[in-house]
Amino acid sequence: MSFTIPELCTSRLNRCELAVPGSSPKFFEKAAKSNADAIFLDLEDAVAPSDKEQARKNIIEALNDIDWGDKVMSVRINGLDTHYMYRDVIDIVEKGGERLDLIMIPKVGTASDIYALDMLVTQVETAIGRKKKIGFELIVETALGMQNIHEIAAASKRNESLHFGVADYAASTKARTTSIGGPNPLYGVLTDPAEDGSRDYHWGDMWHYAIARMVVAARANGLRAIDGPFGDFSDPDGYRAHGNRAAILGCEGKWAIHPSQIDLANEIFTPDEKEVAKARRILEAMEKAQAEGAGAVALDGGLIDIASIKQAEALVKQADIIAA
Ligand code: GLV
Ligand code: MG
């Protein structure tokens, strides 16, 4: 291990993060009763400029009046390049009450963006004597943000998670797609001809680099990595495939932009019972091995060693948080 150990952020269950437009209060009660672990009430791209002010009022009222149970509550503010942002922060933090857990910051580009918001939020929190410190979730969805992701992830003690905003990221990098997430058939590999001359074409995952980079930046700074939206809500198999890839790389959750995606996200990001049982067996076997002075042992015909303990512990910890 390095002498530097990343400090872990506040632990929260974040398998499904449901997006709800602040301009559509008719969806609020249903969202509160849903199975989503976290909800973000949106002031940004799902809200038309003419609705921004009303959406802010709706969100403040909802944070104060609706019973959100034990959900993690977040508000997505507008970007730092807009004149809506300062009013979003001031009004939401001043009047949103203690029920607000997080602020979601879109299109983060530099560490200074986070510094500026930390300063503003700190001032408002101090002025109103807020008891609980608000955390930040950061959407990395521009080429600039992806370039500076490591500094961004380390920019504030309020940071809790990095989110991959695939739609804006595609726009910013001029990626050749018009869908929100999912693969593109043109991004593939044609194998060399086999002996009989036949060739295979394999689709690739054009988002692999971005998600893997985000996971590294998040974990190196003790944060959660969360995969963003999958636009085609009539394609549960596509959502599952995309979510599984993100989960396998280390993401802890994914957005739902439609209620039909909530249970899918929960299923994908809840560790499989068999995997958890195996992880518990690894921990037992390693405990026994260590008591006997061994650093590595065989289990089910494979080698396990001290690194296996850490892998197993991460899985068991996540299963225990879900079960709690
Ligand atoms: C989310 O905000 C996205 O742009 O995908
Ligand atoms: Mg976006």
* CA-to-CA separations, 68 to 15, 72, 114, in angstroms, rounded: 17, 8, 27
Indicate the burial class of 269 (C-beta count within 10 angstroms; 0-12, 13-18, 19 or more). Answer: buried
pLDDT in tens, 169-189: 999 999 998 889 989 999 999
Ligand closest to Cα of 229 equals 1
Shortest-distance atom of ligand 1 to CA 141: 4
Instruction: Output the tens digit of pLDDT for each of the chain's 324 residues.
Output: 899 999 999 999 999 999 999 999 999 999 999 999 999 999 999 999 999 999 999 999 999 999 999 999 999 999 999 999 999 999 999 999 999 999 999 999 999 999 999 999 999 999 999 999 999 999 999 999 999 999 999 999 999 999 999 999 999 999 998 889 989 999 999 999 999 999 999 999 999 999 999 999 999 999 999 999 999 999 999 999 999 999 999 999 999 999 999 999 999 999 999 999 999 999 998 888 888 888 888 888 888 888 888 889 989 999 998 988
- Cα of 251 from ligand 1 centre, angstroms: 16
Q: Is the CB of 79 under 6 A from ligand 1?
A: no
> What is the amino acid identity at position 258?
H
Q: By the 8 A CB rule, do 108 and 138 touch? A: yes
Decide if 190 contacts 199 (C-beta within 8 A): yes
Cα–Cα dist 275/281, whole Å: 10
pTM comes to: 0.95
Q: How many Å lie between the centroid of ligand 1 and the Cα of residue 171? A: 10
**Nearest C-alpha neighbor of 277 from the set 251, 299, 253:** 299
Query: Does the CB atom of residue 105 touch ligand 1 within 6 A?
Result: no
- Ligand 1 atom 2: the closest Cα is on which residue? 165
210 Cβ closer than 6 Å to some ligand 1 atom: no
Check if 145 has its Cβ closer than 6 Å to any atom of ligand 1. Answer: no
Q: Which atom of ligand 1 is nearest to the CA of 171?
A: 4
Q: Which ligand is nearest to the CA of 79?
A: 2
The complex scores an ipTM of: 0.99
C-beta of residue 181 within 8 angstroms of C-beta of residue 257: no
